[in-house]
Structure 1
């Protein structure tokens, strides 16, 4: 949708992947965008700033997001076309199930509906494909298509350059102290700024500026480990797909070293604690549960070396969905949940822009962004 709008100026607060994607979608509609961030742009303390992230169609119990993923991939394709470069590598994925639940039946049904390849692997196939795995306790292994790696640092950097070419005004090192969503104003230490509309996309800091999301979008300290595997296993890792190990006690996601990135392993359990102003070095307490889970899932873990233990802050909602709210006539806020924030950002931003520019009711877009609509919005 690219029609004219009566909204001429929009302030975006937060320059993570969502704020940058919003700025891109707005600028494509001819809107003058002013983007504010408390630090550099892109900001290395944002949860978006990372070496690689998973993109996938398989979505477990979250059927609504599985339905959104074809459009999410099309949104990335639209961004690649604008940037003139594709920061994505198709790797496929293998899910290793170490306990029985409804993930398999639900996911295979989703992928069949989407036309995405999916097949169960034999024990021999698992050993051949992933010699790094500990075979003990594997209940089932499933290979899926429609999965790969996004490269966030490259995406963010190229987006910043592209937004400058599109005329977006970038205001780095300008913390926003308060937002007036009724008047379309923000207050910074440099004064009061006003636009036709304001959108807050401030990640783990969002509830400080939008009281409606306090206690709803909860900051959650999460840890990931960058690792040097033993030299004898490096080639196996370099050819590996994305690997997700599912257990009752913990779930590990593993991103192989591709295109100049390092091996990364993290867990999906939400801490629901922490202050996003904390530093980004993972502590021993952050590392311990990941290492314990790795000891069960992989061979020879004691031969791996932790070379960069990182912490980041997601926002987490009770049902793991995006929240779009309109706390005032001229103000909006969008909060992601967990890793959805990156893989879905260009798509969700395009939907949020429809609400901001009054193409669609905010409530309708909010329902869609939460994955609750059977039919997606017509965006791509």
Structure 2
């Protein structure tokens, strides 16, 4: 059974059901939906990753699984736009990323500010900046990915309860009872992937996950220089903030979001819409004006979503400390979607085989105890 069928939960449901395991997914909404962390059309997928070689290995396996999902679903889910990571070399060093990415055979280019502006004249960079370009990175169509997991899971025999809120979880010897606002369900194993709603399951699950309101905006560019067939996904930042974004896909506009900051959110509170605070648009527009000035045109659309931060911004993927037949997957901290394909595989491995299949010790919940 899976409590929470967003990106991680739906991926796990797909993996379990296609292996022939009886699977029930429960979600408070009707995924894919706009109430969690997976909506907004697109997410970046990168392979040269901060945090260590284990992240790179996970990203490479996730990429393989996204391609398999494309083949199985017949849907276009991944675009190889490349991703351009811009950084102030006076404040940041990417040497460790270069080293372990080279060791793992991940293609990338290290570029000076002048080289970036020669290749992509629409970028404005101070001379102190450098860049790492990943030609095989790109973007995922996030809503379509969740829909593909759902479609294939149901075809493989999984059951999905939508608009059903989990109120509490009660393990008893070899089974687990999951109570909802529509009834009680029992299973031998349960995956809890509750996203921003983990706090509603206390005291059974106590994880240091902080839910944060985040915004993204789509802006009308002045030229077609930012179109997806000629401009990559991007990240940039300095001491004032970190940003990520996407080229204009099908005329939708340049999409940009801010990784740091945000306002705390708690389950049950209203999530203020885009534009409720002046900084919603102002921060994004300021960043575009600084780095991609030709993209800072009219605001075409704004959206809000949620990050679920852990204190160190690394994931939690682990067994419940008191109940090994309850698995926990949460705290994906605004950079987890690209990994959802492999997280589903890890969780299914643990339930079916009794092992994760990769070393994920760094994601242990015990590091916060």
Q: Is the pair's TM-score, using the shorter chain for normalization, greater than 0.5?
A: yes
Q: 1:286 to 1:62 in 2, by over 3 A?
A: farther
Question: Quick check: 2:11–2:341 contact (8 Å CA) kept in 1?
Answer: yes
Q: In the alignment, which residue of structure 1 is the partner of 2:305?
A: 312
Q: 1:367 to 1:212 in 2, by over 3 A?
A: farther
Instruction: Choose the corresponding residue for 1:321, options 308, 314, 321.
Output: 314
Q: In the alignment, which residue of structure 2 is the partner of 1:347?
A: 342
Count, aligned residues:
358
Question: Quick check: 1:58–1:66 contact (8 Å CA) kept in 2?
Answer: yes
Q: In the alignment, which residue of structure 2 is the partner of 1:360?
A: 355
Q: Give 3-state SS (helix, strand or coil) of 2:23's partner.
A: strand
| Gapped regions of structure 1 (runs ≥ 5) | 1-10, 371-380
Measured in 2, the distance between the counterparts of 1:86 and 1:274 equals: 33
Instruction: Choose the corresponding residue for 1:295, options 289, 296, 299.
Output: 289
Measured in 2, the distance between the counterparts of 1:229 and 1:78 equals: 34
Q: Give 3-state SS (helix, strand or coil) of 1:159's partner.
A: helix
Question: Quick check: 1:95–1:246 contact (8 Å CA) kept in 2?
Answer: no
Q: Give 3-state SS (helix, strand or coil) of 2:345's partner.
A: helix
Quote how far apart the aligned CAs of 1:175 are. 1.0
Question: Quick check: 1:99–1:246 contact (8 Å CA) kept in 2?
Answer: no
Per-residue CA deviations over 1:101-151 (Å, capped at 9, x if unaligned) read: 453211211221122222233444322332222233552123223311100
Measured in 1, the distance between the counterparts of 2:202 and 2:353 equals: 21
Measured in 2, the distance between the counterparts of 1:270 and 1:151 equals: 25
Q: Give 3-state SS (helix, strand or coil) of 1:120's partner.
A: strand
1:194-233 correspondence to structure 2 within 5 Å: 194-211=186-203, 214=206, 216-230=208-222, 233=223
1:56-67 correspondence to structure 2 within 5 Å: 56-67=46-57
Quote how far apart the aligned CAs of 1:90 are. 0.7
Question: Quick check: 1:221–1:270 contact (8 Å CA) kept in 2?
Answer: no
Q: In the alignment, which residue of structure 1 is the partner of 2:108?
A: 118
Q: Give 3-state SS (helix, strand or coil) of 1:235's partner.
A: helix
Measured in 1, the distance between the counterparts of 2:61 and 2:17 equals: 20
1:1-380 correspondence to structure 2 within 5 Å: 11-136=1-126, 138-182=128-172, 183-211=175-203, 214=206, 216-230=208-222, 233-238=223-228, 239-259=230-250, 261-271=252-262, 273-275=264-266, 277-279=269-271, 281-282=273-274, 283=276, 284-299=278-293, 304-323=297-316, 324-326=318-320, 327-357=322-352, 359-360=354-355, 366-367=360-361, 369=363
Per-residue CA deviations over 1:181-207 (Å, capped at 9, x if unaligned) read: 444111112221111111111111123
Quote how far apart the aligned CAs of 1:300 are. 5.0
Q: Give 3-state SS (helix, strand or coil) of 1:330's partner.
A: strand
| Gapped regions of structure 2 (runs ≥ 5) | 365-369
Question: Quick check: 2:12–2:345 contact (8 Å CA) kept in 1?
Answer: yes
Quote how far apart the aligned CAs of 1:215 are. 5.2
Q: In the alignment, which residue of structure 1 is the partner of 2:367?
A: none
- What is the RMSD of the two structures over their aligned residues, measured on CA atoms? 2.7
